[in-house]
Structure 1
Amino acid sequence: MRIAVFPGQGSQSPGFLSPWLALDGAADRLSQYSEWSGVDLVAAGTEWDADRIRDTQVAQPLIVAASLLSWNALQSRDAIDGVAGHSVGEFAAAAASGILSEEDALRLVGIRGRAMAEAAAAEKTGMSAVIGGEEASVVSRLEELGLTPANYNGGGQLVAAGALDALAQLTAEPPAGTRVIPLQVAGAFHTRYMAPAVETLRSAAGRVSASDPRVTVWTNRDGSSVTAGSDFVTLLVDQVASPVRWDLCMAAFSSAGVSGIVELSPAGTLTGLAKRALRGVPAVAVKAPDDLQAAADLLGSADA
Structure 2
Amino acid sequence: MYAFVAPGQGSQTPGMLAGWLRDPVYAERLRAWSEAADVDLVHLGGRAPAAEIARTENTQPLLVAAGLLAHEALAMAEPDGPLVAAGHSVGELTAAVYAGALDPADAVRLAAVRGRAMAAACAEVPTSMAAVVGGEEADVLERISELGLHAATFNGPGQIVAAGATEDLERLAAAPPPSATVKPLQVAGAFHTPYMESARRAVAAAAERTPFRRPSGALLSNADGSVVREPDDIRRRLVEQVVRPVRWDLCMESLGRIAPEATVCLPPARTLAGIFKRRLPELAVVCVTTPRDLDKARTRIGAAVAWKEDLVHAGV
**TM-score, with structure 1 as normaliser:** 0.95
1:173-188 equivalences under 5 Å are 173-188=175-190
For residues 73 and 150 of structure 2, the distance between their equivalents in structure 1, rounded to whole angstroms, comes to: 38
Query: Residue 111 of structure 2 aligns with which residue?
Result: 109
Query: Residue 312 of structure 2 aligns with which residue?
Result: none
For residues 102 and 258 of structure 1, the distance between their equivalents in structure 2, rounded to whole angstroms, comes to: 24
Could you report, residue by residue, the CA deviation over 1:140-165 in whole angstroms, capped at 9, with x for unpaired residues? 11112211110111153111111111
Give the conservation status (yes or no) of the 8 Å contact 1:76–1:296.
yes
| Range moving further from structure 2, 28-37 or 170-179 | 170-179
Query: Residue 292 of structure 1 aligns with which residue?
Result: 294
Give the conservation status (yes or no) of the 8 Å contact 2:101–2:213.
yes
Give the conservation status (yes or no) of the 8 Å contact 1:267–1:287.
yes
1:170 to 165, 169, 172: 172
Q: How big is the shift at 1:207?
A: 1.0
Q: How big is the shift at 1:178?
A: 2.4
1:221-260 equivalences under 5 Å are 221-260=223-262
For the aligned residue pairs, the C-alpha RMSD in angstroms reads: 1.5
Query: Residue 77 of structure 1 aligns with which residue?
Result: 78
Aligned to 1:25, the other structure's residue is in SS state: helix
Could you report, residue by residue, the CA deviation over 1:199-225 in whole angstroms, capped at 9, with x for unpaired residues? 111111111211100111110011100
Q: How big is the shift at 1:24?
A: 4.2
For residues 167 and 80 of structure 1, the distance between their equivalents in structure 2, rounded to whole angstroms, comes to: 43
For residues 242 and 70 of structure 1, the distance between their equivalents in structure 2, rounded to whole angstroms, comes to: 28
Query: Residue 56 of structure 2 aligns with which residue?
Result: 56
Give the conservation status (yes or no) of the 8 Å contact 1:198–1:238.
yes
Could you report, residue by residue, the CA deviation over 1:269-301 in whole angstroms, capped at 9, with x for unpaired residues? 212111222131111221222222222232233
Q: Which runs of 5+ in 2 are unaligned?
A: 309-316
Query: Residue 313 of structure 2 aligns with which residue?
Result: none
For residues 287 and 159 of structure 1, the distance between their equivalents in structure 2, rounded to whole angstroms, comes to: 26
1:268 to 267, 270, 289: 270
Give the conservation status (yes or no) of the 8 Å contact 1:127–1:182.
yes
Q: Aligned partner of 1:2: which letter?
A: Y
| Range moving further from structure 2, 3-12 or 268-277 | 268-277
Give the conservation status (yes or no) of the 8 Å contact 1:128–1:180.
yes
Give the conservation status (yes or no) of the 8 Å contact 1:174–1:180.
yes
1:202-221 equivalences under 5 Å are 202-221=204-223
Aligned to 2:241, the other structure's residue is in SS state: helix
Query: Residue 148 of structure 1 aligns with which residue?
Result: 150
Size of the aligned set, in residue pairs, is 304
Could you report, residue by residue, the CA deviation over 1:2-44 in whole angstroms, capped at 9, with x for unpaired residues? 1000110111011111111123401100111111111111111
Give the conservation status (yes or no) of the 8 Å contact 1:155–1:276.
no
Give the conservation status (yes or no) of the 8 Å contact 1:2–1:80.
yes
- Over alpha carbons, which structure has the higher Rg? 2
Q: Structure 1 residue runs of 4+, over 6 Å off? A: none
Q: Which runs of 5+ in 1 are unaligned?
A: none
For residues 301 and 131 of structure 1, the distance between their equivalents in structure 2, rounded to whole angstroms, comes to: 37
Q: Aligned partner of 1:52: which letter?
A: E
Q: How big is the shift at 1:80?
A: 5.9
Go from structure 1 to structure 2 and tell me whether the alpha carbon gap of 1:301 and 1:188 turns closer, same or farther (over 3 Å shift): same
Give the conservation status (yes or no) of the 8 Å contact 2:86–2:95.
yes
Go from structure 1 to structure 2 and tell me whether the alpha carbon gap of 1:136 and 1:214 turns closer, same or farther (over 3 Å shift): same
Give the conservation status (yes or no) of the 8 Å contact 2:83–2:99.
no
**TM-score, with structure 2 as normaliser:** 0.92
Give the conservation status (yes or no) of the 8 Å contact 1:221–1:245.
yes
